[in-house]
Amino acid sequence: MSEIPEDLKYSESHEWVRLEEDGIVTIGITDHAQEALGDLVFVELPNKGNILNTEDACGVVESVKAASDIFSPITGEVIEVNLTVPDAPELVNESPYGKGWLFKLKPTENSDLDKLLAYDGYERFLEAEE
């Protein structure tokens, strides 16, 4: 069973969202997603300053066997990207919720977060998907 931290929110396209104290959100892909993809070898991230809408394809994670789009789970402006990840994609496999985070957004609408799944909802979603 993959790891699903209780303090995060989740999208059905397997991104996670962490609300930081300053109202900024950090985004990455879930443990389930990295496990399903296998060893990552290429990551393409949005650029700082990009304005993203919910469900915009804003990046790509590729493993040896498959490519998968990253969709923005909420609407907002990209204020920081994890520049270590494109040079070391294995960080996403090793630490999907930690060193393998992908980018940070300043949300336009705080209510966007409420539309995402809580940990137990994501857990049920994964069970139903199998």
List contacts with another protein (CB under 8 A). 38-39, 41-42, 44, 60, 62, 64-65, 67, 86, 90, 93
Least gap, CB of 32 to another protein (angstroms): 13
Q: Which is nearer to another protein, 76 or 100 (CB)?
A: 100
Least gap, CB of 64 to another protein (angstroms): 5
Distance CA(7)–CA(34), nearest Å, equals 19
Q: Which two tokens stand for residue 112?
A: 């966007």
Residue burial 64-89, b: 16+ Cβ < 10 Å; e: rest: eeeebebbbbbbbebeebbeebeeeb
Least gap, CB of 63 to another protein (angstroms): 8
Q: Which is nearer to another protein, 42 or 110 (CB)?
A: 42
